[in-house]
Amino acid sequence: MGVQLTWRNGLDDGETAEVMGLLEETEKADGVAPVGEHVLLRLKAHRDVVHQIEPVQADVRSEHFILRDSGGALIGYAHLDTEHEAGAGQLVAELAVHPERRGKGAGARLVEALLERAELGTEPDADTGRLRIWSHGEHPGAVRLAERYGFHRPRELWRMGRELAEPELPELPEVQLPEGVAIRTFRPGEDEADVVRVNHRAFVWHPEQGDMTEQDVRTKEREDWFDPAGFFLAVDAAGELLGFHWTKVHPDGTGEVYVVGVDPQAQGGGLGKSLTVAGLRHLRDTGRSRVVLYVEADNVPAVKVYQRLGFAKLDSDVQFGR
């Protein structure tokens, strides 16, 4: 297979456009995006820097693997997140192969390049099994590659969903708040710091969500889907933030339980469920007929809460590692 693989710690404008096009073609073919939201946001941030649309800097925590055929056409791409590399921490990768170029070794070439990168960057005597590769939607091709290279499944993320107008599913309950607690909507320019503080406390255990920064929130506020009217904050009588439910609406009209976070000191009284219900009612009342969410497969209490609210498993995102 006459291919050329190059490594980049930054993409130029043309390469960014090519990669975005490849990711779009892959999503159309598979019905699921081949990379997570944070990868798309980093690519968009770079694009905006090139065009001087926003005063932000491209994220230097990304590395890019570009695979081209003998004619120079882009046939594969891998993104490597090096945010936690210091101290031989995990390297997390996501990749895509053009739908018309599969089955010819492109995926294997990208996986081998990622393995080489992970091993070269490891200190002597350190754990060489730090590479993790996501497969969104548990694509059969990714499963075959995982078996070929001896990967196991250290993490699984369920995508769950329910219809909001289906009479056979449980009706959404009323929002019942603890005494002294009220729900209001997010105020851009005022609430970012409090949301980040509660988010960190709620997700200190989570490998991605717990690292959210104020800049991350502001970046998402610039996205077309952002709507402060769908971002619910639970506050006590003094106005202190206790928890939040950030909803999202996808281009096809599907709603999402984007993030539900409750300060550990406010947990145990049903606040998380109340916030979830408030967001679901908002999505239903604004015309969303379907809603999805993502939850760690081994988070049994959360899965049970969502099942009682009428959610069922749709598919999985699997993280493979050695």
Q: What is the dihedral of CA 52, 54, 60, 64, to 10 degrees?
A: -70
Q: Which pTM was predicted?
A: 0.86
Query: Which residues of the chain have a pLDDT value below 70?
Result: 1, 46-59, 85-88, 120-129
Give binding residues as ranges: 37, 95-97, 208, 248, 256, 260-262, 267-273, 294, 299-304
In the prediction, which pLDDT does 46 show? 63
What stretches of the chain adopt beta strand conformation (E)? Answer: 3-8, 62-69, 74-81, 91-97, 131-136, 152-163, 182-185, 231-235, 241-249, 255-262, 290-296, 312-321
In the prediction, which pLDDT does 129 show? 67
In the prediction, which pLDDT does 25 show? 97
In the prediction, which pLDDT does 55 show? 43
- Give the SS3 label for residue 236: coil
Is-contact 85 91, C-beta < 8 A?
A: yes
Rounded-to-integer distance, Cα 192 and Cα 207, Å: 20
Nearest 5 degrees, angle CA 165-CA 169-CA 280?
Answer: 55
In the prediction, which pLDDT does 85 show? 67
In the prediction, which pLDDT does 100 show? 94
Rounded-to-integer distance, Cα 122 and Cα 85, Å: 9
Rounded-to-integer distance, Cα 113 and Cα 108, Å: 9
Residue 250 falls in which region: left (phi positive, over 0), alpha (psi -120 to 50) or beta: beta
Give binding residues for acetyl-CoA as ranges: 95-97, 260-262, 267-273, 299-304
In the prediction, which pLDDT does 83 show? 81
